[in-house]
Chains A and B, each alone.
Chain A
Amino acid sequence: MPDSPCLENPMLRKLQALALQLIDPLLSLAELILIPIQRVIGTNRMGYIFVLPNLVIFGVFILLPMLLNFYFGFTRGDSILPENRDWVGNQNLATLLTCEDYLNYRTCEEDLFWRSAGNTATYVVFEVMGVVLFSLITALSLNQKVRGRGFFRGVFFYPVLLSPVVVALIWKWILQHQNGVINSILVALGGEKIPFLVDPNWSFFWVVVIGIWAQMGFYTLILLAGLQAIPNEYYEAAAIDGANPWAKFWYLTLPLLMPTMTVVLVLSLIRAVQVFDTVFVLTGGGPGTATLYIIQYIYQKAFDLREYGMAASASLVLAVVLFALTMMQLLARRRENTGLETHG
Chain B
Amino acid sequence: MDNALSREPVTPARGILAFLTRLRGGQRFSFTDTLTYAYLILGTIVMFGPVVWLAMSSFKTPQALAEFPPSFLPQRTETIVVEGHDRPLELYTVRFESGQTRQLAQISRVGIVARMVDPAVPNEVIEVNINQRTPVRSVVFGFENYTGAIERFPFLTYLRNSVVVTVISTIITLLINSMAAFGLSKYQFRGRNLIFFVILSTLMVPVSVILIPAFLVIAEVGWINSLWGIIIPGAATPTGVFLLRQYMLTIPDELLDSARVDGASEWRIYWQVVLPLAGPALAVLAIFSVMWRWNDFLWPLIVLSRSELFTLQVGLNAFQGELNTQWNYILAMTVLTLLPITVVFALLQRYITTGIATTGMK
Contact = CB atoms under 8 A, between A and B. Distances in A.
Decide if A and B touch, CB cutoff 8 A: yes
B189 to A, nearest CB: 4
A299 B8 CA distance: 51
Given A57-B233, A138-B43, A343-B204, A6 B19 contact: no
Given A54-B176, A54-B241, A322 B205 contact: yes
Interface stretch (B89-97, B121-129, B151-159, B269-277): B269-277
A153 B357 CA distance: 11
B48, B66, B189, B341: most-surrounded residue (chain A CB, <10 A)? B189
Contacts of A156: 43, 47
A58 B199 contact: yes
Interface string A175-214: 0001111011001100000000000000000000000010
B212 A308 contact: yes
B360 A339 contact: yes
Nearest to A51: B183
Contact of B1 (A35, A51, A154, A217): A154
Contacts, number: 370
Contacts of B189: 44-45, 47-48
A243 interface: no
Interface residues of A, number: 122
Contacts of B67: 179
Interface string A154-186: 111111111111100111011000111101100
B316 interface: yes
A183 B298 CA distance: 32
B295 interface: yes
Contacts of B208: 274, 276-277, 295, 298-299
B140 interface: no
Interface string B256-289: 0000100001111011000111011001100011
Contact of A276 (B8, B206, B236, B295): B206
A225 to B, nearest CB: 4
A324 B158 CA distance: 39
Contact of B288 (A55, A222, A338, A344): A344
Contacts of A341: 203, 239, 242
Contact of B342 (A60, A161, A164): A161
A323 interface: yes
Contact of A58 (B57, B217, B236): B236
B5 A221 contact: no
Contacts of B148: none
Contact of B179 (A54, A159, A187, A299): A54
A250 interface: no
Contacts of B69: 179, 184, 187-188
Interface in A256-278: 260, 270, 274, 276-277
A50 B192 CA distance: 12
A147 B22 contact: yes
Contacts of A340: 243, 284, 356, 359-361
Contact of B53 (A154, A161, A181): A181
B98 interface: no
Interface stretch (A65-73, A92-100, A102-110): A65-73
Contacts of A82: 216
